[in-house]
Structure 1
């Protein structure tokens, strides 16, 4: 007799398998939401940092234009010919930068107005120095308004890092105002020499106001740079900025000291001090812009690294979910193959019945029927226990008869002489 092979483990049903797969796939929902939020935040920060770098590039071109325009104003007020080549070169450079970043920074309209104003400046200085002062002052005011527009549109004014914020405030607001104020202070000194003696009071007040306009933004520059150095992790910011800052402070103080006594102020000396202050401020602006760009570049590199980590975490989560979903499916497939083998008739032999491959009619194997098991039960060929009390029941064929006549009918042989010789002990049934 054969019985089906018992499965070693419980095969999960289809409902359990489907639930396990759904739970594994459901893990993708929070993982996907977290990755989407992280990616969106990272992308916004990267875009903001890139836009700020565009603003730094624009400010660099405006720095050259500021020096050229202030020099042109001082020359026109003093009655000298304008250095048109330097101004034209600065205008071309700013125009090229505006072509690249003007649409992103929304500065094209303001630059178009400033460009038209610069082109309308006279090649020769006006006969009246006050007219030159007025014309150039309006143009420089447009330039300062363009500085503010670049700060706002690029996002530099909203930079989240303390060091970058103080650097942009110094280079995009305070320092341009200080450079322009230094030029106007020197120009007012020149205009004071053309006034009659009765306007000394007005001249002294105007020079005092102009001197305050130079010193106030210069002090703000110092405060911003010191705050940036104290709150930065950059190793090069402190040494590069502070070395230039000392020279700028000395130049501004020298310019202010020459104009404290309007009656004795020499326009030539004031003009030389103005040039020194502007050169020192220009060099300081270049260093500030370079350090600011380095800070923004490092921030972009950090954001790129965070993006790669997020992508790696997402890939790892996908692999884990796929593994969790594949385990129940593989188990269900293995169970299906096991059930198919059972239905095909694969079985494990038990007892003393015929094994797989035994031909019909072949003699059974196993111990003889005389070897009874415990309890008086004797195994028989068909696998059922033989009980003597059931052998004589009517209508029931004795299984012992099949065991006692294993040889087919007609194939029995006569016993030999030795077999027919009586036993010395006599017949066992005679007792």
Structure 2
């Protein structure tokens, strides 16, 4: 009976060999995609925070320019000598900031135009108060446009956090507009007292419009700052901001009371409005550095957190690569063992199919080899072959 040879282990198919490799690649591909996306988003957020901090620095440099321009306008409208030193120092400080970060914020062109207008006013202030009021109005309009430009190019207007968004809106839009409009309101009350009675109606309409323009951004500022405090997780924002905000709010309320028209004549006291303007401007001068400082602190904290997230992403990516490498090593070792077992099985199968070679016959041996014996009659010892023995 023929006994069948034992079957060796089946050799894995091509799909069985490739499937583990495909699984490893399929595991690595989404991990690499998640790592790249997380790295890119973290880098974008970090760059945005860095640009926003540049915007905060630029806004901080524009604040003295705003105050100096408003003071110079009031002096020119009141026919007083304009002190050029504060405005010159403020312009030089802002110019140094623009020279350093203006290219990145794309503010060079607007700053150059604003500086040219300011220097032109310093060289020749209009003698007519009405002309001076209009000339300074054009310059302050350019200044407010520069505030808007810096907020846009730095990304402050697109800030994703509610607390920092309200802070930048208050410091970069509401407060400069309120300071400029308050100065114009006080200066227009001075001009209104000099205008003829025929222009009383036009003057009253202008005063009402400027009063709204001064009080509306001041109210928006209060709303923005309170919203920032309510939505922020910072424990220092509320105590640091609310105290100077209360001072500013009281100054604005006094300005609103003194600038309200008295009776049908619509006459207001220029001295009272000018005093209220100085108080409101002084309160704004104390409030704006606090707002910008808190905003910069929030942005710095965010940038630090994004940096830590970036390192965590790197560590997670390294661990994923190590895990993938370990799985690949296990798969490679298993593949090598499978190939080795297949080779051994093939050798065993080939050995069972080939018949064994037979060794040549050997006579049995029992001790010493036996001497050969002659065939035929035994001769006597010592006998020799005779001459006739050969034929036999």
Query: Are the equivalent residues in 1 in contact too, given 2:248–2:287 (CA < 8 A)?
Result: yes
Q: Write the distance in 1 (CA, Å) between the matches of 2:245 and 2:368.
A: 123
* 2:110 counterpart of 1:114: no
Give the helix-richer structure, 1 or 2.
2
Deviation string 1:13-47 (CA, Å, 9 cap, x unpaired) is 69556653453244221111111111111111111
C-alpha separation in 1, matches of 2:346 and 2:207:
109
- Bigger Cα displacement from structure 2, 47-56 vs 117-126: 117-126
Task: Tell me if 1:310 matches 2:309.
Answer: no
CA contact (8 A) 1:77 1:125 kept: no
Aligned-pair CA distance for 1:270: 2.7
Structure 1, residues 148-178: CA drift from partner, whole Å, max 9, x if none?
1111111111211111111111111111111
Instruction: Tell me the CA shift for residue 209 of structure 1.
Output: 2.4
Partner of 1:36: 36
Match of 1:24 in 2: 24
**Greater Cα shift, 201-210 or 71-80:** 201-210
Alignment size in residue pairs: 350
Cα separation, 2, equivalents of 1:86 and 1:105: 26
Partner of 2:291: 288
Task: Give the Cα separation in 2 of the matches to 1:229 and 1:155.
Answer: 21
Q: Do residues 225 (structure 1) and 225 (structure 2) align?
A: yes
Q: Secondary structure at the match of 1:120?
A: helix
Shift of 1:330: 3.6
Match of residue 304 from structure 2: 301
Instruction: Within 5 Å, give how 1:70-89 maps onto structure 2.
Output: 70-89=70-89
Deviates more, 1:20-29 or 1:159-168: 20-29
Over 3 Å counting, the alpha-carbon distance change for 1:408 and 1:322 in structure 2 is farther
| Shift in CA distance, 338/186, structure 1 to aligned 2, threshold 3 Å | same
Which residue is 1:272 aligned to? 275
Q: Deviations over 1:56-103 (max 9, x none)?
A: 111111111101111111111111122211111111111112122222
**Once the 2 structures are TM-superposed, how far is the Cα of residue 204 of structure 1 from its aligned partner?**
3.2
C-alpha spacing 1:21/1:221, structure 2 compared with 1 (3 Å): same
In 2: Cα distance, 1:11 partner to 1:95 partner: 82
Provide TM-score, normalisation by structure 1. Answer: 0.73
SS at match of 1:179: helix
- Partner residue in 2 for 1:160: 160
Partner of 1:329: 332
1:3-402 to 2 correspondences below 5 Å: 19-123=19-123, 125-261=125-261, 265-331=268-334
Kept in 1: contact 2:68–2:87 (CA 8 A):
yes
Rg larger in 1 or in 2?
A: 1
Are the counterparts in 1 of residues 11 and 342 from structure 2 also a CA contact under 8 Å? no
Seen in structure 2, the aligned counterparts of structure 1 residues 25 and 199 have a Cα distance that, compared at 3 Å, is closer
Query: For residues 273 and 329 of structure 1, do their structure 2 counterparts lie closer, same or farther at Cα, with a shift above 3 Å needed?
Result: same
Is 1:174–1:218's contact at 8 Å kept on the other side of the alignment?
yes
Answer whether contact 1:11 1:332 (CA < 8 A) is retained.
Answer: no
Deviation at 1:105, TM superposition (A): 1.6
Q: Hey, what's the Cα distance between the residues in 1 that align with 2:241 and 2:92? A: 29
Relative to the length of structure 2, the TM-score reads 0.80
Question: Alpha-carbon deviation of 1:111?
Answer: 1.0
Cα distance in 2 for partners of 1:20, 1:408 equals 68
Cα separation, partners in 2 of 1:407 and 1:338, compared to 1, 3 Å: farther
Question: Contact 2:84/2:122 (CA < 8 Å) preserved in 1?
Answer: no
Q: What is the alpha-carbon root mean square deviation over aligned residues? A: 3.2
Distance 1:325 1:122, change over 3 A: closer
Cα distance change on mapping 1:155 and 1:11 into 2, 3 Å: farther
Q: Which runs of 5+ in 2 are unaligned?
A: 1-8, 348-359, 371-392
